[in-house]
Chain A
Amino acid sequence: MQRRQFNTALAAASAAAAISPFNIVRAQAQKLKVGVILPRSGYLGFIGQSCQKGADLAPEVIKEMLGVDIELMNADFESNVDTARTRAERLIQEGANVLVGPFDSGAAAAIAQVAEQRGVPLVINIAAAPQITEQGYKFVFRNFQTAGDIVRNGLDLIGELFQATSTVPRTAVYMHVNDTFGQAMTKGINAMLPSRTQLPFKIVEQIGYDPAAKDLTVEVSKAKAANADFLLLVCRLNDAIILRREMVKQRWQPMGIISPGSPGMYEEQYFKTLGKLSEHSISNVPWYNPKAKLTQVVEKAFKKHNPKDNLVFHGLNAGFTFEAILIAADAFKRAKSTDPKTLADAIRQTNISEKMTLGAPIKFNAKGQVEGIGSACVQNLNLLPTVVLPQEAATAKPVFPVPGYKKT
């Protein structure tokens, strides 16, 4: 090749390279590729699958709502934080414009690092550890309560529960999973409980346990021996099932089991596995508004996709996952681009008032956190998670103290 030919070729290549980003943007702008990363297997598997139901129906509902095309790229991180990191890397390599997930705080912290390093927006569906949005990240957004908010709302609802049922428990034994989420919740509870003077109880024993534990005999023995009025529990799903069974085996019947804001006891698998034993467990959690217009649209699509399932068991998981994808799609519609930075800027400007979950409109603060998300006191009644507080959203009255276990 002669020098003149080489120069011509170089100029042509440079021109092609200079134009190609615009081509890419134009091509990508027709469709938003959403990398959905969830723990669809492993000890968080059932909850991950529940979240996935919200993702699966999103493209259809959002196309109808916003006219935006979405392509889901699903990844299972197997309830393993290291796998979460590698799956996130892979989704980005394969062309995901935005990441959504992952349900778990530990995984969220790992994926957030990847998203920030690679400059791809991450919209967190569910994960509560406060530090995730305290790192100054520019590409990380969360439409879920932080552990602090969950605890604050959860403790307030416990106060309302005692008031509504005219009960005054004096002592509680606090059991919690020993993972990122459990530790964040514990920190929040220990910091806030002393200042909550309206709450009449003291924690007499605090027991942490492995969320992947296969046997909780010792833990339950220790909790039972504390002889507390009720069990304050921050759990996951599998451990909640093991724990409930162990309580029955050890014939421990406190006034009730109350979660100040954790998954597990309102999940379908909890009901399926435990049957009548699942009754009366109480979870004070961010919840969905069954009366919202969007809920009805989502419920219709949910039934179409999952004819055998009931949204009430998946409302929280599917609701927040759907909303995370909605946030990304709404930003994409406004940004008219899949350029990560433009998309992140658009997400930051989000203002969605027509939403499915309880609380204020979806608006991100400077840290990428949505504020004002509401909680409900959900009690398992007649084998269904039922809102019993606050009164304006309640569909049944709370039962506390709960009746003793009877073999059916």
Chain B
Amino acid sequence: MPALDLVANVVVSGILTGLVYGLMALGLSVIFGVVRVVNFAHGEMMTIAMYAATALFIALKLDPFVAMLPIAAAFFVFGYALQTALINPFITRPEHSQFMLLVAVAIILVNAMLMIFGPDARNVQVDYQLESYELGPLLLDKGRLLAAAAAVIAAAGLFAFFRYTLTGKAIRACADNYLGARVVGLNVKHLYALTFGLGAVCVAIAGCAMVLLVDVTPPLGPAYTLLAFVIVIVGGLGSMGGALLGGVLIGVSEALAGLFIAPSAKSMFSFGLLILVLLLRPQGLLGRRA
């Protein structure tokens, strides 16, 4: 039986990583919750953000936390344009058309990354990457802690935006009642594009934070898309709080599975959790019943 401080350290590490996972999945959840389109290129977009952070670090020695701002801005524009130019025409089409469209986008993104960056792993090496804080028996990896803090701040900002701003409320109105929103004169297409842009911002911030934790390679994209799906299904598709909760649960369960069973059983455990949720609470832990 592992010692308590070992379990505590592994759990804390799982929570911190899970928060970054949660932010990534939050983007997917927000897009689906409003636009009702499942972004199958989500992980690939995050991988692009990770590459952008490494490129800015190599070229300008820009810390990934500073690089978050320009990358998030660029991703907002990218997300807005993608929704306006490509996805909006598919909004009223059958779901399989939307699925094929976004899978095609994902494949194009992976191959473009392979052509531009090659298949080798890349990372950033910031000064504080090897530092850790000691808190009683806990040893907190500084990079992981900062990444989790960035995820929490970004998520809180998004919550506040949807709750307190007029645009945020308008977007929620679109999500609640598409026809009603159009009747009262809201520019739904613009609000959809805005939502996709915000989802892309979540992905960009998560990518910049994640690059401190793992090396980036193009094949990482599909793996993260799958992970984001697992998280939002566990947390509840369309629920913002559910995405964060799902991220933390997956992060912790993977860490504990690695500790108690075998490191190679990590993914097996998160998919086991997914099946359990689908059986017992199909709408997800914080999702609303349809």
Pick out which of these stretches binds chain A: B6-14, B87-95, B103-111. Answer: B6-14
Q: B residues 113-163 with Cβ under 8 Å of A?
A: 118-121, 125, 129-132, 139, 141
- Please tell me if A225 contacts chain B, counting CB pairs below 8 Å: yes
- Please tell me if B258 contacts chain A, counting CB pairs below 8 Å: yes
Q: Specify which chain B residues have a CB less than 8 angstroms from the CB of A116 in the assembled complex.
A: none
Residue contact A45 to B264, C-beta cutoff 8 Å: no
- Please tell me if A207 contacts chain B, counting CB pairs below 8 Å: yes
Q: Specify which chain B residues have a CB less than 8 angstroms from the CB of A291 in the assembled complex.
A: none
A41 and B259 alpha carbons, distance in the complex (Å) = 31
Q: Specify which chain B residues have a CB less than 8 angstroms from the CB of A45 in the assembled complex.
A: 119-120
A198 and B102 alpha carbons, distance in the complex (Å) = 62
A208 and B132 alpha carbons, distance in the complex (Å) = 25
Q: Specify which chain A residues have a CB less than 8 angstroms from the CB of B6 in the assembled complex.
A: 221-222, 225
Residue contact A225 to B2, C-beta cutoff 8 Å: yes
- Please tell me if B213 contacts chain A, counting CB pairs below 8 Å: yes
Specify the chain A residue showing the minimal Cβ separation from B213. Answer: A215
Q: Report, as a range, how many residues of chain B touch the other chain.
A: 20 to 34
Specify the chain B residue showing the minimal Cβ separation from A252. Answer: B139
Residue contact A238 to B10, C-beta cutoff 8 Å: no
A78-B119, A219-B258, A249-B130 as given contacts; A214 in contact with B215, CB under 8 Å: yes
A41-B118, A217-B13, A225-B2 as given contacts; A209 in contact with B264, CB under 8 Å: yes
Q: Specify which chain B residues have a CB less than 8 angstroms from the CB of A210 in the assembled complex.
A: 263-264
Q: Specify which chain B residues have a CB less than 8 angstroms from the CB of A242 in the assembled complex.
A: 215
A65 and B259 alpha carbons, distance in the complex (Å) = 55
Q: Specify which chain A residues have a CB less than 8 angstroms from the CB of B280 in the assembled complex.
A: none
Q: Specify which chain B residues have a CB less than 8 angstroms from the CB of A238 in the assembled complex.
A: 121, 215
- The tally of CB-CB contacts under 8 A between chains A and B is 76
A41 and B120 alpha carbons, distance in the complex (Å) = 6
- Please tell me if B239 contacts chain A, counting CB pairs below 8 Å: no
A238-B121, A245-B130, A249-B132 as given contacts; A219 in contact with B263, CB under 8 Å: yes
The residue in A79, A221, A225, A242 that gathers the most chain B C-beta atoms within 10 A of its C-beta is A221
Q: Specify which chain A residues have a CB less than 8 angstroms from the CB of B141 in the assembled complex.
A: 217, 249-250
Residue contact A248 to B130, C-beta cutoff 8 Å: yes
Specify the chain B residue showing the minimal Cβ separation from A407. Answer: B130
Residue contact A42 to B120, C-beta cutoff 8 Å: yes
Specify the chain B residue showing the minimal Cβ separation from A45. Answer: B120
Residue contact B3 to A225, C-beta cutoff 8 Å: yes
**A312 CB, nearest partner CB in chain B, Å:** 23
Residue contact B264 to A218, C-beta cutoff 8 Å: no
Q: A residues 167-223 with Cβ under 8 Å of B?
A: 178, 207-210, 213-215, 217-219, 221-222
A214 and B263 alpha carbons, distance in the complex (Å) = 12
Q: Specify which chain A residues have a CB less than 8 angstroms from the CB of B262 in the assembled complex.
A: 208
**A332 CB, nearest partner CB in chain B, Å:** 33
Residue contact A218 to B129, C-beta cutoff 8 Å: no
**A205 CB, nearest partner CB in chain B, Å:** 11
Q: Specify which chain B residues have a CB less than 8 angstroms from the CB of A43 in the assembled complex.
A: 121, 217
- Please tell me if A251 contacts chain B, counting CB pairs below 8 Å: yes
**B225 CB, nearest partner CB in chain A, Å:** 16
Q: Specify which chain B residues have a CB less than 8 angstroms from the CB of A217 in the assembled complex.
A: 10, 13, 17, 141, 255
Proximity string of chain A (93-132) to chain B, C-beta cutoff 8 Å, 1 when within and 0 when not = 0000000000000000000000000000000000000000
A180 and B68 alpha carbons, distance in the complex (Å) = 40
**B124 CB, nearest partner CB in chain A, Å:** 12
**A281 CB, nearest partner CB in chain B, Å:** 16
A273 and B2 alpha carbons, distance in the complex (Å) = 32
Residue contact A245 to B9, C-beta cutoff 8 Å: no
Q: Specify which chain A residues have a CB less than 8 angstroms from the CB of B258 in the assembled complex.
A: 218-219, 222
Proximity string of chain A (60-96) to chain B, C-beta cutoff 8 Å, 1 when within and 0 when not = 0000000000000000001100000000000000000
**A93 CB, nearest partner CB in chain B, Å:** 24
Residue contact A221 to B121, C-beta cutoff 8 Å: no
Residue contact A218 to B13, C-beta cutoff 8 Å: yes
**A169 CB, nearest partner CB in chain B, Å:** 22
Q: Specify which chain B residues have a CB less than 8 angstroms from the CB of A207 in the assembled complex.
A: 263
What 9 pairs between A and B have smallest CB-CB spacing? A218-B258, A214-B214, A41-B119, A225-B6, A248-B130, A45-B120, A209-B263, A249-B141, A217-B13
Other A-B pairs beyond A251-B132, A273-B125, 17, CB < 8 Å:
A208-B262, A209-B263, A210-B264, A215-B214, A217-B255, A218-B259, A221-B6, A222-B2, A222-B6, A222-B258, A225-B2, A245-B130, A249-B131, A249-B132, A249-B141, A250-B132, A277-B130
